[in-house]
Amino acid sequence: MIEERGGPVSETVLEMKGISKAFSGVGVLEEIHLQVAKGEVHALMGENGAGKSTLMKILLGIHPADRGEILLEGRRIVNRSPREAMDKGIAMIHQELHPVLDMTVWENVFLGREIRTRFGLADKKAMARECGRLFTQLDVPVDPGARMRDLGVAQCQLVEIVKAVSLSAKVVVMDEPTSAITDREVEILFQQIARLKAQGVGVIYISHKMEEIFRIADRITVLRDGRHMGTDSAADLDNDRLIRRMVGREIREVFPKETVVPGEVVLEVRGLCWGRKVRDVDLSLRKGEILGIAGLVGAGRSELAQTLFGIHKPTGGSVHVHGKPVRIQRPGDAIALKMALVTEDRKGSGLNLKGTVQENITLASLDRLFPRGILDGSREGDVVSKSMEKLKVKAASPKAPVDSLSGGNQQKVVLAKWLLAGPEIIVLDEPTRGVDVGAKRDIYLLLGELVKAGKAVIVISSEIPEIMGIADRILVMAAGRVTGEVARKDFNQERILGYAAQFEGGGSSGTG
């Protein structure tokens, strides 16, 4: 059943009609309609696996549709590759960024459509100049001559956005464009989107972030299990109705919160430094407590976590665990002290994507599980099945390659790995990035269970509503320093943002 209340806003730029797609005879998309008007921001929502990605892959020509047609400005088009789609005016900003790392920013922006001199050679000067002009015009604080490698995630993403903007596209698809950028950068992105709207470009916007959707979307189309659950004007929907439509069930609370009376101090950090990235940080963490660390990208939060975990060697300060002074020089030391770090970069540092689910889950616990150095297949199987069950990891089998799993399930594998190591102190860096609503909730529930079991938890997050929802206490960092601490009863978005903006301009603005 299709609800069609919004109606066409104005002239239609893109229409996908009756799109169906099956893999190996099993339908993953059935009769999907998507109609995007000129100058409209059209949100496409649904849980991971609902069919959003497949639908977009059909639009971009990565997969052919089994049935249905695509009309661009009323004309039927068939795309056979993303390149062909791009030439017709359909651009995509990916969730996973694939910049060519050793290229400069301007080379990347003009990749595949280089400005040429009369002699057919790449006109470097013209491209660098044009790139600089675009950045200035679009208010993007990135040096066109910098190498992509040296940029942070947020800056890379902005470059990708500028790239799409500069394509003079008719339709721009944005897949989770704000998942890795700060609020300030989100503002820049939204300015770009407003600019696109004004030019009559249709924007298809995929995101899991409700506030964002309600802020910028004109209409919202929801997919669930490959079916079209309806398209509505954003004004006609609210948070709860939208979530209900997406997940097909009630979600009583967005942030389920277990309140535990904190116990003794388990971690005490005094004057911790790591170069210029972490400066003189003090913190203490109690049993049964969730400590949130908020701040902008580049504030040094990840570096703090990594220094605590022995990935970076501290250049100053002291750390006490259970009241005893400790020296943590490498991750092995931290693990021996029953610490765990769930890093923000799942694919880069969290998982061995070439390994199986099982191999990843036991990786940090091998010495504990097999003290004699010989693997025991049945013991490993038991342990892994239990932890997969506990964390609701959905995988074909424990022997499935971990890269065959969805983002949310991969994240659960990382969590399973660290919980198996039996930690008392757990640091989670952006644990819900790129994770769908259902899996997010599972992770929040897990945090509750952990503190109930007497663990001490630190959560780093860039999403202020999330961190306010789950933390007992929030430390705010800026430019490598702790600039403020807020207790749960005093949680307030403006106050946190105020602390986060301290040292702005005077400090470093590297990656986060």
Partner 1 sequence: MRRNSREVGAVEQAKSLQSSRFMREFGILFVFAGVLGALMLLSPGAFARPANLMNIIKQASVNGILAMGMMFVIISGGIDLSVGSIVALTGVVAASFAHPGEYPFLVPVVLALGLGALIGLLNGVGVAYGNIPPFIVTLGMMTIVRGLALIVSKGSPVFGVTAAFENIAGAFVLEVVPLLVVYFLVVTGASAFLLNKTVFGRRVYAVGGNEVSARFSGIDVQRIRLAVYTISGLLAGLAGLVLASRTVSGNPTAGQSYELDAIAAVIIGGVSMSGGSGKWYGTVIGALLIAVIGNGLDILNVSSHYQLVIKGAIIIFAVLLDMKGKRK
Closest approach of Cβ 402 to partner 1, in Å? 10
**Cβ distance to partner 1 smaller for residue 375 or 445:** 375
Q: Which residues 131-150 are close enough to bind partner 1 by CB under 8 A?
A: none
CA 235 distance to own-chain centroid: 26
Give the one residue of 180, 308, 341, 478 binding partner 1; rule: CB under 8 A. Answer: 341
**Cβ distance to partner 1 smaller for residue 4 or 376:** 376
| Closest C-alpha to 247, from 408, 394, 48, 393 | 48
**Cβ distance to partner 1 smaller for residue 286 or 417:** 417
- Conformational region of residue 221, where left means phi above 0, alpha means psi within -120 to 50, and beta covers everything else: beta
- For 298, the token pair is 């580049």
Would you count residue 179 as binding partner 1 (CB under 8 A)? no
Residues 360 and 420: their CA atoms lie apart, in Å, by: 11
Would you count residue 222 as binding partner 1 (CB under 8 A)? no
Q: Which residues 26-65 are close enough to bind partner 1 by CB under 8 A?
A: 26-28, 30, 49-51
Residues 139 and 124: their CA atoms lie apart, in Å, by: 22
**Cβ distance to partner 1 smaller for residue 98 or 372:** 372
Give the one residue of 260, 311, 446, 457 binding partner 1; rule: CB under 8 A. Answer: 311
Give all strands of the β-sheet with 265-274 in edge-to-edge order. 278-286, 265-274, 316-321, 324-326
Would you count residue 184 as binding partner 1 (CB under 8 A)? no
Q: Which residues 356-395 are close enough to bind partner 1 by CB under 8 A?
A: 359, 362-364, 366-367, 370, 373-375, 394-395
- For 170, the token pair is 């008719």
CB distance 8 to 187 below 8 Å: no
DSSP states along 80-107: SSHHHHHHHTEEEE-SS----TTSBHHH
**Cβ distance to partner 1 smaller for residue 17 or 347:** 347
Would you count residue 329 as binding partner 1 (CB under 8 A)? no
Closest approach of Cβ 376 to partner 1, in Å? 9
Would you count residue 321 as binding partner 1 (CB under 8 A)? no
**Cβ distance to partner 1 smaller for residue 185 or 436:** 436
Would you count residue 314 as binding partner 1 (CB under 8 A)? no
- For 171, the token pair is 């339709």
Quick one: DSSP state of residue 248? S
**Cβ distance to partner 1 smaller for residue 92 or 413:** 413
**Cβ distance to partner 1 smaller for residue 231 or 406:** 406
Scanning 149-157, 211-219, 286-294, 399-407 for contacts with partner 1 by CB under 8 A, the matching segment is 399-407
Would you count residue 168 as binding partner 1 (CB under 8 A)? no
For tokens 């200035």, name the residue: 136
**Cβ distance to partner 1 smaller for residue 41 or 364:** 364
Give the one residue of 88, 163, 417, 441 binding partner 1; rule: CB under 8 A. Answer: 417
Would you count residue 2 as binding partner 1 (CB under 8 A)? no
In DSSP terms, which residues pair with 16 in a beta bridge? 34, 70
Beta strands in 238-355, from DSSP E residues, in sequence order: 265-274, 278-286, 290-295, 316-321, 324-326, 339-342
Give all strands of the β-sheet with 202-206 in edge-to-edge order. 75-77, 67-72, 12-23, 26-37, 227-233, 219-224, 41-45, 202-206, 171-175, 90-93
Scanning 1-9, 25-33, 164-172, 173-181 for contacts with partner 1 by CB under 8 A, the matching segment is 25-33
Helices (H), 453-489: 464-470
Would you count residue 511 as binding partner 1 (CB under 8 A)? no
Would you count residue 68 as binding partner 1 (CB under 8 A)? no
Residues 152 and 297: their CA atoms lie apart, in Å, by: 9
Residues that bind partner 1 (CB under 8 A): 23-24, 26-28, 30, 49-51, 225-226, 309, 311, 330-332, 334-335, 341, 343, 348-355, 359, 362-364, 366-367, 370, 373-375, 394-396, 400-401, 404, 406, 417
